[in-house]
């Protein structure tokens, strides 16, 4: 039995490294514009293959990708591991790109929305209305804040939550938003306390939202049940 589990983890790690090499290409190239369909998966900073490389902008996504792949395979409801991995991979790329550039590529938000559209038919049975309501559940409040409060949120964050809402449904989308705001707020306080940012400087909020979305994907229902249990 141990040999079987060991073999499974070796396969997961290998698949994660292979998928991560491609994620590394996207993380490095999407913000810069070069086509990612040509050439080897290499780091522009050190020239090594993506699986072996690391730089401040191009992280070791090759190895980090093994984590969402393993999580998707072990925890995705109804066996939709590939769908969950696709969303987690997009979240990983968005987090790194937004942290480095303060921008979220529309293509990645569209990819998450596409996964949401697929989830309507083969994902967890939360109902079509919940999927559609999820688009507005977090995106509308963020849009209003971004529109009336300059610099509070970027419109890339709004698009991200709209796309994630289609995938999660409205209840888990609110969970994701709440977690993201808590994490982002705590990180902002840390930056101010450490004097890395002033009160007027912006910081990337996308990574915090990505963490919130990732947690809501796997633990959102449990968090809601625990919350209602305290009421």
Q: Each residue of 119-159: pLDDT tens digit?
A: 998 876 788 999 999 999 999 999 998 888 877 788 999 99
Give the residue-averaged pLDDT of 12-40. Answer: 65
Q: What is the mean pLDDT of the chain?
A: 80
What confidence score (pLDDT) does residue 219 get? Answer: 92
Rg of the chain over CA atoms, in angstroms? 18
Q: Indicate whether 199 belongs to any domain.
A: yes
What residue has token string 């999407």? Answer: 30
Are residues 142 and 191 both part of a single domain?
yes
Which pLDDT score is estimated for 194?
Answer: 78
pLDDT at 118 over 70: yes
Q: Quick check: is 96 in a domain?
A: yes
What is the spatial distance between Cα 5 and Cα 1, in angstroms, rounded to a whole number? 6
Domain total in the chain: 2
- Domain region containing 46: 1-64
Q: Is the pLDDT of residue 191 over 80?
A: yes
- Residue 176 CA to residue 62 CA, distance in Å, equals 26
Backbone angles phi, psi at 42, to 5 degrees: -130, 160
* Contact present, 85 and 112 (Cβ < 8 Å): no
Task: Please check whether residues 56 and 106 belong to one and the same domain.
Answer: no
Share above pLDDT 70 across residues of the chain, in percent, rounded to a whole number: 67
54 and 156 belong to one structural domain: no
Do 97 and 50 reside in the same domain of the chain?
Answer: no
Are 90 and 154 members of one domain? yes
Which pLDDT score is estimated for 57? 52
């Amino acid at each position: 039995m141990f040999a079987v589990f060991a073999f499974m983890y070796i396969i997961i790690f290998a698949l994660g490294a292979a998928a991560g090499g491609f994620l590394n290409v996207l993380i490095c190239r999407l913000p810069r514009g070069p086509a990612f369909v040509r050439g080897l998966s290499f780091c522009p900073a050190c020239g090594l293959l993506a699986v072996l490389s690391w730089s401040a902008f191009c992280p070791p996504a090759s190895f980090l990708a093994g984590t969402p792949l393993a999580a998707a395979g072990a925890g995705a409801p109804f066996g939709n591991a590939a769908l969950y991995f696709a969303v987690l991979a997009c979240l990983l790329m968005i987090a790194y790109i937004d942290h480095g550039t303060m921008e979220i590529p529309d293509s990645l938000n569209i990819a998450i929305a596409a996964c949401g559209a697929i989830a309507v038919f083969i994902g967890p049975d939360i109902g079509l209305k919940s999927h559609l309501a999820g688009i507005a559940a977090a995106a509308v409040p963020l849009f209003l804040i971004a529109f009336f409060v300059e610099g509070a949120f970027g419109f890339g964050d709004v698009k991200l939550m709209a796309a994630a809402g289609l995938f999660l449904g409205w209840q888990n989308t609110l969970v994701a938003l709440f977690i993201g705001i808590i994490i982002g707020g705590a990180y902002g306080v840390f930056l101010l306390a450490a004097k890395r940012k002033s009160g007027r400087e912006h910081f990337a909020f996308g990574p915090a939202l990505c963490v919130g979305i990732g947690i809501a994907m796997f633990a959102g229902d449990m968090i809601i049940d625990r919350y209602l249990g305290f009421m």
